[in-house]
Amino acid sequence: MNLLKNKIALITGSGRGIGKAAALTFARNGANLVVNDLDEDVANQTAEEIRKFGVEAAVCAGDVTAADFPERFLKTALDVFGEIDIIVNNAGFTWDAIIYKMTDEMWDAILNVHLKAPFRILREFGKYLRLKSETEKPMNARKVVNVTSVAGLGGNFGQSNYASAKSGVVGLTKTLAKEWGRFNVTVNAVAFGAIETRLTMEKEGNETADIHGIKIPIGIPKNVRDMFIKMIPMGRIGKPEEAAHSILFLASPLSGYISGHILECTGGLVF
């Protein structure tokens, strides 16, 4: 399969989980990648796996919410590959609490990583598109895929921060689809339900993520996870590879006339 042959794709949070699955799927389809993860060692390991498919991978490790990240992320692609064809905004984590227990810190952290970071990355990409439009006539087709969630479409108990951020991603996606059509850029999003990652594993494992020096519990309680699975018509949690295929579709020529769309990848779960 060569749906993305010689394309240059940038994927945030591509060291683990859905992002890594997407990066490997893109590599199988001929894309060269810029890999990002908070942990540089993890990012480098994913880059090594990517290169086994006969394509190239560069690493831009670090926090997507950092002030210098958008410029550094795009500059990595341009310095190494000289082009940007696809951007996937995937990085994120959850920090749950019912609203009267949710602190400003929890709210701000989730809004920053899930909404402000994609906004700032795409703002930087917009500058690049403006410059390209002066010399590239007609404009080459380019793709943006934002990762949202069913929580952003229908809300979710204990996730007012996450649901609000992911709802904002929907608005951002639909707005940029209107703004960037003239640049021959399609802008779409995938709304995921439950996908098998660290964020959906059983919380009783007591695993944490280190975010800005704060140990944040990851996963969901077993009873909540079991209840959620019962709500899914297909009766199971999705695989990262299945999630990656939905991103691939929106990043490929197969979706060339689709823009401003929110693709639900949920196993039939509807909110």
Assess contact for 37 and 12: CB atoms under 8 A: no
Task: With CA atoms as reference, report the closest residue to 79 among 108, 56, 99, 62.
Answer: 56
Output the pLDDT for position 219: 74
What's the CA gap between 7 and 21, in Å, rounded?
17
Q: Is 71 a domain residue? A: yes
Alpha helices, H only, the chain: 17-28, 40-51, 69-80, 104-111, 117-135, 150-154, 160-180, 222-231, 240-251
- Kind and range of the H or E run holding 33: strand 32-35
Note the Cα 192 to chain centre separation in Å. 10
Which CATH number goes with the domain that contains 163? 3.40.50.720
In eight-state DSSP terms, residue 259 is: -
What's the CA gap between 242 and 155, in Å, rounded?
23
What's the CA gap between 89 and 109, in Å, rounded?
16
Decide: residue 255, CB within 10 A, 0-12 exposed, 13-18 middle, 19+ buried. middle
Output the pLDDT for position 226: 86
Q: Is 166 a domain residue? A: yes
Q: How far apart are the first and last CA of the chain?
A: 34
- In the residue annotation, 162 being an active-site residue is answered as yes
Residue range(s) defining the domain that contains residue 37: 8-196+239-265
Output the pLDDT for position 217: 76
Q: Is 68 a domain residue? A: yes
Q: Is 109 a domain residue? A: yes
Output the pLDDT for position 200: 76
pLDDT in tens, 102-121: 999 999 999 999 999 999 99
Q: Is 12 a domain residue? A: yes
How many other C-beta atoms are found inside a 10 Å radius of the C-beta of residue 110? 24
Output the pLDDT for position 204: 62
Q: Is 160 a domain residue? A: yes
How many other C-beta atoms are found inside a 10 Å radius of the C-beta of residue 139? 15
Catalytic residue among 100, 128, 162, 257: 162
- Kind and range of the H or E run holding 143: strand 142-149
Assess contact for 106 and 29: CB atoms under 8 A: no
Output the pLDDT for position 207: 72
pLDDT in tens, 14-60: 999 999 999 999 999 999 999 999 999 999 999 999 999 999 999 99
Q: Is 205 a domain residue? A: no
Q: Is 228 a domain residue? A: no
Output the pLDDT for position 203: 67
Assess contact for 107 and 61: CB atoms under 8 A: no
Output the pLDDT for position 252: 98
Task: Give the position of tokens 């199971």.
Answer: 236
What's the CA gap between 266 and 222, in Å, rounded?
19
Number of domains in the chain: 1
Output the pLDDT for position 257: 98
Output the pLDDT for position 206: 62
Q: Which residues of the chain have pLDDT under 50?
A: none
